[in-house]
Structure 1
Amino acid sequence: MTQTEEKMSTQSKLILFILILGNFLCLISETVMNVALPSIISDFHIRTSSAQWLTTGYMLVIGISVPVSAFLIQRFTLRQLFVTAMSFYLIGSFIGFITPWFSLLFVGRMIQALGTGIILPLVMSTMLTLVPVSKRGTVMGIFSVAILFAPAIGPVLSGLIIQYYSWQIIFLGLLIAAALIFLFALFKLSNVSETSRPTIHIPSVILSTIGFGGVVYGFSAAGEETGWSNPIVWLTLIIGVIALALFVRQQSKLNSPMINMKPFRSSVFSRSIFLMFLIMMIQFSMMLILPLYFQTAAGLSPLQTGFLMLPGGVTLALTAMVGGRLFDKIGFKPLLLTGLVLLTIILSLFTTISSGTSTRTAAILYAAFTIGVGLSIGPVMTLALNQVPKPLHAHGSAISNTINQVSGAIGPALYTSIMTMASQHFIQQSNETNKTLLQIKSMTSGVHTVYYVAIAFAVVSFLLALTLKKKDQQLETQ
């Protein structure tokens, strides 16, 4: 490859800038409602389980729509898809801002999610097309900021808004940001991908919808009050897993599959994708459990909790960008192993936290933890996608984004259920008579158990990373 070919054009940089902006906004929406739920419950006089569907349903729609993205990316132009996706997001945000009814608010969130489900894989697929191989680490580092920093900043922004205004202002802010990105794309976004006329296989769409929908819903429902004792959880998970197995089997037999499974023929791709899944699970152990613990045990407000997590979010963004540049210079393995060792050390320190731990100490530990995540997730994601040949970019992107969304559903449910079970076990074994103190002690025990499980995932991740070789960084084998 010549030096000229290694350079990105100004137009390519502009296209990626627009797409990453849209991606960042969509990912903020995944967590921005969490802090607002108590206000929504109060305003609409609904149950907590109903309000949680604003987040669970959002993840569910994304989980269903992402697998179809490979077909859409091949069938329609970049401009058509992005403008359409942002239109969905605009409409959903507008409905959320003006609605007087919870049912309409829910519809608005689902329309938002539909736009998000199109944009997420579109960005990654376009990036693989535009970015030279030698620059992918750097660009993936920037992209990792959107993937990891946006969900972390969502609760902070919504906490600030709820503190001084109302939850409707959250949707107004999303609406304004989406309108600006939409107009920017309308005038500046150009097409770079080639379209074809793939046929849509309806049975595949049905199986993927049931499969991914069942898995995402099952794990999301497991994180609610009834947890794993709810038979609906197990029923939807079993149905989802069976449908996914049939979907994968069907895709391997089709001439024009909805998601081509050929990338999994690469052992490096398969191991990297699984490693990415494990690291994202570890990240969710912090993003969910840490703020939950400090709000319950230490009595922090949602806004204070948001600021507790903010230094880590900023550190994560900076580390991901630096890690991306280092990937292009020194390769993935030193970054990945260093990041995983740091993750394990910090998780070990978190097994000693208590209600007496200062917010400053927790914020510093979390910031150190995000350095490990930033050094790990970008390199392993780039390594996986580098194994995908150009004709399969859309499919590799769909696989990667599907794994991200599934980890987003499994992570919170798994850790919440572990914390709940460990807390209940502590209560059964304890002689503590003070109910308030018992609640704090039992939750502390549950949180410690969660982090021990996360340490186990980190150790497995480290051992798996050792099996990857430096030569595996070579790219795009046909």
Structure 2
Amino acid sequence: MLEVKQYHVKTMLFIFSLGAFISILNQTLLFTAFPDIMRTFSVSSSTVQWLTTAYMLVNGVWIPVTAYLISRFSTRQLMLFALGSFTLGTLLSAISPSFLLLLISRLIQAIGAGIIIPLMQVVMFSIVDKDKHGSVMGIIGLTTGFAPLIGPTVAGFILSRLTWRYLFWLVFPIGVALIVATIFGMQNVGTPQQQNNPLDYRSVVYSTLGFGILLYGTGSFNQNKTLGTFFVAIGGIFIVIFIHRELQLAKPMLNFRVFKNRQFSISLVLVVLSFVTLIGPQAIIPTLIQSAMHHTALTSALVLLPGALASGLTSLIAGRLYDHVGGKILGIIGSLVVSISMVPFLFLNIHSSLIMMATCLIFKMMGNSLVMTPLTTEALNVLPERLLNHGSAMVNTLRQVGGSIGTGLLVTVQSFFDMHSAFIGARAFFSGIIVIGLVRFVLALALKPTIQTSK
């Protein structure tokens, strides 16, 4: 159904999807292991958070370069580099003797991970008919949406029997197998531009400094609000310089002219906000269940598992629905579901039912999937083919950076109230999630209705 004559679409989709799955899985895989890693290396909770924050940050500052890389190198070359970097980082993480080396190894992982999803989206949108884009994105969403949710659950099961290092040892052979599969099963799509396509290094510097300093600033708010505000301002200045630079170039590294398309812009904001409501609770809930409610890591994993399963299934269904009804109605419904499902979390206490929490998370995850998969497809579908690689890079850049910044701000709000009670802090956090859901609802109303037709 999804095959195009000259490409092995199913084989390529499998390689891309599994590669995306393990790369995104590693964003949240360590959440449940933070207490163990803190004990191993004698570091604080704010320090250990950088294993995930830095991973997402490197994704965010590296992804803008993928728009250039996709036009410059072949599909197979890029995928091999991405998987090679990710697998090397995984191996080094497993054997790291110190926290600093573990952090560096995570950054190496993130360099490879940042390439896979934009490359996958551009390639699959290029070789599959437009009226099947939703179905393909549903399959991709099943892996990319399911992965960050299942991370804490998988980690909980592993940590109940093994040490945190096995979180990397179990991923390592999958990376090696994917490298072999890419060598023999990945076909090149399109023709790389070998001439007159130099990388603008000033753009790389500006984007890296801008997004990097901005994220560092948001992460610093709960320790020093003045210093955090200073770094946010400096990061914002570099981002403005970066945008100005890109708009002046005939061949920008990242083409911001995609924002001239109103439908793309609204869809992208919805995707970014959805990523915040996806990742944020996954970082907070395991710690809340273990530290404040005094349950085990395995118990926290079991609370998250049903929602992760529901999210994966909903992504698959939402992709197919998008091909028939477009993104607007799905965005409206999904945004409302997220806000409503988080209301019970405003009344959390030490005696709260874990079954209630798991049930609410099921609906929250389903609502997120109704927004993320269709609206990512919508954002890319409305762009001309010449801007597809830039649109994909933009979606994934802002999803990663926006998700990191949004989660950081929510955690900062939580930390402010945590001085009085962990549950008061949690209620403040989930109030923020509800507000974000309502903002998404209003934005979804502004979308134009679209129903896809064949090319």
Q: TM-score, normalised by structure 2?
A: 0.94
Counterpart Cα distance in 1 of 2:98 and 2:450 = 57
Q: Is the 8 A contact 1:211 1:239 kept in 2?
A: yes
Partner of 1:283: 278
Residue of structure 1 aligned with 2:447, choices 461, 464, 468: 468
Q: Is the 8 A contact 2:263 2:448 kept in 1?
A: no
Partner of 1:233: 228
Q: Deviations over 1:237-265 (max 9, x none)?
A: 11111111111111111001000112111
Partner of 1:209: 208
Q: Pairwise mapping of residues 318-357 of structure 1 onto structure 2 (< 5 A)? A: 318-357=313-352
Q: Does residue 254 in structure 1 map to residue 259 in structure 2?
A: no
- Listed as ranges, the gaps of 5+ residues in structure 1 are 428-441
Residue of structure 2 aligned with 1:74, choices 52, 55, 71: 71
Which stretch has the larger CA shift, 203-212 or 447-456? 447-456
Counterpart Cα distance in 1 of 2:29 and 2:161 = 16
Counterpart Cα distance in 2 of 1:58 and 1:323 = 28
Counterpart Cα distance in 1 of 2:151 and 2:362 = 17
Question: Residue 315 of structure 1 aligns to which amino acid in structure 2?
Answer: A
Partner of 1:389: 384
Counterpart Cα distance in 1 of 2:343 and 2:49 = 31
Partner of 2:217: 218
Distance 1:207 1:87, change over 3 A: same
Counterpart Cα distance in 1 of 2:450 and 2:334 = 20
Q: Pairwise mapping of residues 119-268 of structure 1 onto structure 2 (< 5 A)? A: 119-196=116-193, 197=195, 198-222=197-221, 227=222, 229-268=224-263
Counterpart Cα distance in 2 of 1:98 and 1:288 = 25
Once the 2 structures are TM-superposed, how far is the Cα of residue 273 of structure 1 from its aligned partner? 0.8
Partner of 2:365: 370
Q: Does residue 17 in structure 1 map to residue 14 in structure 2?
A: yes
Residue of structure 1 aligned with 2:109, choices 92, 109, 112: 112
Counterpart Cα distance in 2 of 1:339 and 1:111 = 35
Distance 1:345 1:165, change over 3 A: same
Q: Is the 8 A contact 2:138 2:373 kept in 1?
A: yes
Q: Does residue 306 in structure 1 map to residue 301 in structure 2?
A: yes
Which stretch has the larger CA shift, 250-259 or 402-411? 402-411
Q: Is the 8 A contact 1:141 1:325 kept in 2?
A: yes
* Paired residue secondary structure (1:164): coil
* Paired residue secondary structure (1:166): coil
* Paired residue secondary structure (2:348): coil
Q: Deviations over 1:78-132 (max 9, x none)?
A: 1000001111112111212233333332222111111111222211221221221
Q: Deviations over 1:272-327 (max 9, x none)?
A: 11121222222234223333322233112222111110100000000110111111
Q: Does residue 443 in structure 1 map to residue 439 in structure 2?
A: no
Question: Residue 427 of structure 2 aligns to which amino acid in structure 1?
Answer: H
Partner of 1:437: none
Residue of structure 1 aligned with 2:51, choices 45, 54, 57: 54
Distance 1:289 1:409, change over 3 A: same
Question: Residue 4 of structure 2 aligns to which amino acid in structure 1?
Answer: M
Residue of structure 1 aligned with 2:85, choices 82, 88, 101: 88
- Listed as ranges, the gaps of 5+ residues in structure 2 are none
Counterpart Cα distance in 1 of 2:264 and 2:212 = 24
Counterpart Cα distance in 1 of 2:45 and 2:366 = 34
Distance 1:253 1:326, change over 3 A: same
Counterpart Cα distance in 2 of 1:228 and 1:188 = 49
Question: How big is the alpha-carbon RMSD for the aligned residues of Structure 1 and Structure 2?
Answer: 2.1
Counterpart Cα distance in 1 of 2:55 and 2:283 = 17
Which stretch has the larger CA shift, 173-182 or 274-283? 274-283
Q: Deviations over 1:205-235 (max 9, x none)?
A: 110110111122222334xxxx163444223
Q: Is the 8 A contact 1:332 1:473 kept in 2?
A: no
Once the 2 structures are TM-superposed, how far is the Cα of residue 421 of structure 1 from its aligned partner? 2.0
Partner of 1:360: 355
Partner of 2:4: 8
Counterpart Cα distance in 2 of 1:50 and 1:420 = 15
* Paired residue secondary structure (1:469): coil
Which stretch has the larger CA shift, 152-161 or 51-60? 51-60
* Paired residue secondary structure (1:255): coil
Q: Is the 8 A contact 1:7 1:132 kept in 2?
A: no
Q: Does residue 457 in structure 1 map to residue 436 in structure 2?
A: yes
Counterpart Cα distance in 1 of 2:112 and 2:100 = 19
Counterpart Cα distance in 2 of 1:33 and 1:87 = 21
* Paired residue secondary structure (1:200): coil
Residue of structure 1 aligned with 2:374, choices 372, 375, 379: 379
Q: Is the 8 A contact 1:63 1:216 kept in 2?
A: no
Q: Is the 8 A contact 2:19 2:116 kept in 1?
A: yes
Q: Does residue 416 in structure 1 map to residue 411 in structure 2?
A: yes
Counterpart Cα distance in 2 of 1:71 and 1:459 = 36
Partner of 2:269: 274
Question: Residue 120 of structure 2 aligns to which amino acid in structure 1?
Answer: V
Question: Residue 220 of structure 1 aligns to which amino acid in structure 2?
Answer: G
Question: Residue 97 of structure 1 aligns to which amino acid in structure 2?
Answer: A
Residue of structure 2 aligned with 1:26, choices 17, 23, 32: 23
Once the 2 structures are TM-superposed, how far is the Cα of residue 201 of structure 1 from its aligned partner? 1.0
Q: Is the 8 A contact 2:74 2:188 kept in 1?
A: yes
Counterpart Cα distance in 1 of 2:214 and 2:301 = 29
Question: Residue 202 of structure 2 aligns to which amino acid in structure 1?
Answer: P
Counterpart Cα distance in 1 of 2:260 and 2:108 = 35
Query: Number of matched residues?
Result: 452
Q: Is the 8 A contact 1:269 1:384 kept in 2?
A: yes
* Paired residue secondary structure (1:388): coil
